[in-house]
Structure 1
Amino acid sequence: MTTAQKTTTVFLSVLSGLLLAIMGLTQKWPTWVWPILAILLLIVPAAAFRIAALRRGPMPASFEEQLTAPPVERTEYHLRQVALPSLWDDYHFVFSATVRWYPVESLGHTPVLNPAGLAAEAVLNRARTITEKREPGQASLVQHELSGALSCLCPDPTGHLQVMAESIDLTLLRQDQERLDRLADVRKDEAVWEHQRKYEQSKRQYLGEDVLRDTGSAVVWWLAKNNEHVERTVADLALLAQLTSAANDTDVPERLQSLLPQQNGEPPAPDFLEEDTASAPRERTAADHLSDLFDTMGFAEGDARRTMLAKQFSNLIKEQNRHETAEILLRSFDPPAAFTPKDEEESNLGAQASDETSGAPLI
C-alpha cells in the first residue's frame, strides 16, 4: 500500500468514528457500546493494511520511492548546421535538429557533467551511419528517413542517457546543389544525345544493309514507299541504281547501264513530264506583246528603233509605278553589252531618229 492509500484509509477511519460518535450521542446508545466501537475503529484499518500487504506481496522500498518520486524532466539541445558525410566524396549534408534526453541512474558510473555533449554525439553518430550511405541528391528523402530513425529513445554509448532527436532538417550547401543540378542536366542531355546517335546508327544500318543492299532491294523499298505506283518506280530505276552503287561504293551493273542518262549526267525526264511541258502554253509577258507591236510596225530584230521605243515605253511605265515591268522591257530590248564602234554608229542613228520623232507623241 502506498503512502497515499495509507493516508486515505486513516482519514476514512477517523471520519467513520466521528459519524458513529455523533449517532451514538443523538440516539443515546448505552455505555457498553462505546468500547466496542473504539475496538472496531482500531481493528478495521489494521485489517485493511494487512489485506493490502498480502495482495501486493513483497516490494522493494526503492521501487515504491520511485513511484512516489517526482518525474524527471527531459532536457534538450539544438544542433545547427552540422556537416555530415554522404556517399560521394566532398559532398556533405547540412544537419540541424533538436536533441532531447533524460538521464538513466546506473550504479558504478561516474556522474555526467555535460549530458548535452553526450546526447549530441549519440544523435550525430546515429545520423552519420545513415547519411554516409546515401547520395547527396536525395537530401529530402534522407531527411524523412532520419526523422523516423532518430524519433525513438536509444541509450548513448556510455549508458548514462536515453537520447532522441526531433525537428530534423537536412539540406545541401547551395554551391553543391547547383553542381548537382548542372550534372543532372548534363546527364540528361547525354542520354538524349546517346538515343539520337543510336537512332541514326540504326537508320544507317537499315538503309545500308537492307534498303540499299542491291538495286532490287532499293526498288522494292521505293515501290512500298510510293504506295505501289509502278510507273513512278520504273521511272526512277536509273536513280535507284546509281544510289545503290554509290552506297556500296561499286559500279552500276552492266545490265542497268542502258538506264543511265546520256547527257549532262542527268536522268531523263519521264515521258509524262515532257508531254505536260510541251502541251502547257507559256505565259506571255509584256516584252512579248511589245515585240509583237514592233513586228507589226515593221521594225525587225536588230533595228535600233526597237531599243529606242522600248526605253520610252519603259519610262512611261515607271511613271505608273510599274517598275518591275519597266526593268523587264529594258533587259529584253536593251541588254547590257560591250561598247564597240558599231554600237556608236547605231547610237547616232537612234539619236537622229529621236530628233525626227520628238515632236510627235508615240500614242
Structure 2
Amino acid sequence: MTTGSKTTTVFLTTLCALLLTIVGLVQRWPGWAWAALAVLLVAVPTVTFKIAESRRGSFSVDFEEQRTAVPIERREHRLSSVALPSQWADYDFLFSATVRWYPLDPNGHGPVVNPAGLAVEAVLERARALTELRDPDRVSLVEHELGGALSRLCPDRTELLQAMAENVTLTLHAHDRERLDKLAEVRKDKAVWEHQRKYEQSKREYLGEDVLKDTGSAVVWWLAKNEDRVEKTVADLGLLAQLASAANDADVPDRLRAFVPQLVDGRTDAEDVDGPSTVVEREPTATEHFEAFLTSMGFPDGDVRRGMLAKQVADVIRTQGRNETAEEMLRRFEPPARYRSDDEDPSVGGDDAGFESPPGR
C-alpha cells in the first residue's frame, strides 16, 4: 500500500469514528457498545494494512529505486541517404529507412552492446546483398524489392537481436539520373541505326546477289513482277541486260547485244558515215547502259526517280568493289539532296523505282 492509500484509510477511519460517536451520544449507548466501537476502530485499519501488504508482496519498493530505474529503451533508428553499391560501378543507390529491432535477451543478461549499431549493420548488410545485383536504371523497382526484403525481423550475425526496416526509400544522385537517361537515349538511337543499316545491307545483297546477279536472274525477277506481260518482258530483254551489266560493272554479253538498240544503232551510223574500214567501235560504259535502261523505262531527264534508282544500283556496285563505276553513276544522275546521305533510308525511292524488299528480310 502506498503512502497516499494509508492516509486515505486513516482519514476515513477517523471520520467514521466521529460519526459513530455522535450517534452513540444521541442514542445513549451502553458502556459495552463504546468498548466494541473502540476495538472496531483500531482493528479495521490494521486489517486493511495487512491485506494490502500481502497483495503487494514481501519486497518493498524504495522511492530512490524508483528514481534510479533504467528508462525504457527506444528501439528504432532513422537512416538517411546511405550509399549502397549497384551492379554498375560508380552508380550508387541512396538508401533511407527507419530501422527497428527487438532484443533476443530482454532481461539484459547478455553482453553490453549498442543495439542500434547492430541493427543498422544487419539491415545495411541485407540491403547491400540485394542492391549490388540490380541495375541503377531500375531504382523504383529495387525500392519495392527492398521494402519487402527488409520488412521481416531477422537475427543479426551476433544473434543478440532481430532487426527490420520500415519506410524504405531508394534514390539516385541527380547527375547519375541524367547520365542514365542519356545512355538510354543513345542505346535506342543505336538500335534504330543498326536496324536501318541491316535493312540497307539486306536490300543491297538481295539486288546484287539475287536480282541483278546476271541477265537471267533479272528476267526471272521482272517476270515475277509482271506475270501477265510476257511480251513486254521479252521486249525489255535489252534493258534488263544493260541493268544487270551495269550492276556488275561488266559489258553486255555478245549474245544479248542484238537486244540493245543503242549498240545496234551506234554501229550502223558509224558505218554510214565513215565506211566499214574506218569504223571505231566503242563499247558503251555501264553508266550509259544504265541511262538507256532508264530512258526506255519511261524515266526522262529531270525525273527524281532516276537519281533514286541510280543510288540503289551504285550501292550494289560498291558491294562488289567497283567504286569508280558507282561514283561515275552518282555524278551522272546526282540523286536528290535528301538521298545523298548514307544515313537516310532509301526505301521510299526504291519502291518508286519498282523494287520491293525481299520477303522475310
| Gapped regions of structure 2 (runs ≥ 5) | 1-71, 267-283, 299-361
CA drift of 1:107 comes to: 7.5
Task: Output the CA distance in 1 between the equivalents of 2:137 and 2:86.
Answer: 10
Task: Output the CA distance in 2 between the equivalents of 1:95 and 1:128.
Answer: 10
Structure 1 range deviating more: 87-96 or 190-199:
190-199
Q: Tell me if 1:220 matches 2:220.
A: yes
| Aligned partner of residue 78 in structure 1, secondary structure | strand
1:135-154 alpha-carbon deviations (Å, 9 max, x no partner): 11121111111111111111
Q: Which amino acid aligns with 1:220?
A: V
Q: Tell me if 1:110 matches 2:115.
A: no
Q: TM-score, normalised by structure 2?
A: 0.51
Q: Which amino acid aligns with 1:250?
A: A
User: Which residue of structure 1 lines up, in the alignment, with residue 249 of structure 2?
Assistant: 249
Matches within 5 A, 1:235-314: 235-260=235-260, 261=262, 262=265, 267=292
User: Which residue of structure 1 lines up, in the alignment, with residue 309 of structure 2?
Assistant: none
Whether the 8 Å CA contact 1:119–1:161 is kept in 2: the answer is yes
Task: Output the CA distance in 2 between the equivalents of 1:207 and 1:267.
Answer: 19
Task: Output the CA distance in 2 between the equivalents of 1:228 and 1:192.
Answer: 39
1:304-346 alpha-carbon deviations (Å, 9 max, x no partner): xxxxxxxxxxxxxxxxxxxxxxxxxxxxxxxxxxxxxxxxxxx
Task: Output the CA distance in 2 between the equivalents of 1:74 and 1:168.
Answer: 20
CA drift of 1:88 comes to: 0.8
User: Which residue of structure 2 lines up, in the alignment, with residue 152 of structure 1?
Assistant: 152
CA drift of 1:174 comes to: 1.6
Q: Which amino acid aligns with 1:157?
A: R
Q: Which amino acid aligns with 1:149?
A: A
When the two chains are superposed, the root-mean-square deviation of aligned CA atoms in Å is 2.5
CA drift of 1:73 comes to: 7.4
Task: Output the CA distance in 2 between the equivalents of 1:107 and 1:77.
Answer: 20
| Aligned partner of residue 258 in structure 2, secondary structure | helix
Q: Which amino acid aligns with 2:229?
A: H
Q: Tell me if 1:141 matches 2:141.
A: yes
User: Which residue of structure 2 lines up, in the alignment, with residue 77 of structure 1?
Assistant: 77
1:74-129 alpha-carbon deviations (Å, 9 max, x no partner): 621111111100111101011111111122217763222x3222211111111001
Task: Output the CA distance in 2 between the equivalents of 1:90 and 1:228.
Answer: 67
User: Which residue of structure 1 lines up, in the alignment, with residue 338 of structure 2?
Assistant: none
Task: Output the CA distance in 2 between the equivalents of 1:235 and 1:176.
Answer: 67
1:33-75 alpha-carbon deviations (Å, 9 max, x no partner): xxxxxxxxxxxxxxxxxxxxxxxxxxxxxxxxxxxxxxx8762
Task: Output the CA distance in 2 between the equivalents of 1:124 and 1:202.
Answer: 53
Report the number of matched residues. Answer: 199
Which structure has the larger Rg?
1
Q: TM-score, normalised by structure 1?
A: 0.50
User: Which residue of structure 2 lines up, in the alignment, with residue 171 of structure 1?
Assistant: 171
Q: Which amino acid aligns with 2:76?
A: E
Q: Tell me if 1:234 matches 2:234.
A: yes
1:239-290 alpha-carbon deviations (Å, 9 max, x no partner): 21111112222211101112221359564977x9xxxxxxxxxxxxxxxxxx
| Gapped regions of structure 1 (runs ≥ 5) | 1-71, 273-363
| Aligned partner of residue 127 in structure 2, secondary structure | helix
Q: Which amino acid aligns with 1:189?
A: D
User: Which residue of structure 1 lines up, in the alignment, with residue 56 of structure 2?
Assistant: none
Whether the 8 Å CA contact 1:74–1:100 is kept in 2: the answer is no
Task: Output the CA distance in 1 between the equivalents of 2:228 and 2:196.
Answer: 31
User: Which residue of structure 1 lines up, in the alignment, with residue 186 of structure 2?
Assistant: 186
1:1-43 alpha-carbon deviations (Å, 9 max, x no partner): xxxxxxxxxxxxxxxxxxxxxxxxxxxxxxxxxxxxxxxxxxx
Q: Tell me if 1:199 matches 2:199.
A: yes
| Aligned partner of residue 232 in structure 2, secondary structure | helix
Whether the 8 Å CA contact 1:74–1:102 is kept in 2: the answer is no
Task: Output the CA distance in 2 between the equivalents of 1:203 and 1:224.
Answer: 18
Task: Output the CA distance in 2 between the equivalents of 1:184 and 1:217.
Answer: 44
Task: Output the CA distance in 1 between the equivalents of 2:252 and 2:164.
Answer: 84
Whether the 8 Å CA contact 1:74–1:101 is kept in 2: the answer is no
Task: Output the CA distance in 2 between the equivalents of 1:194 and 1:257.
Answer: 42
User: Cα distance 1:158–1:259, how it changes in 2: closer, same or farther (>3 A)?
Assistant: same
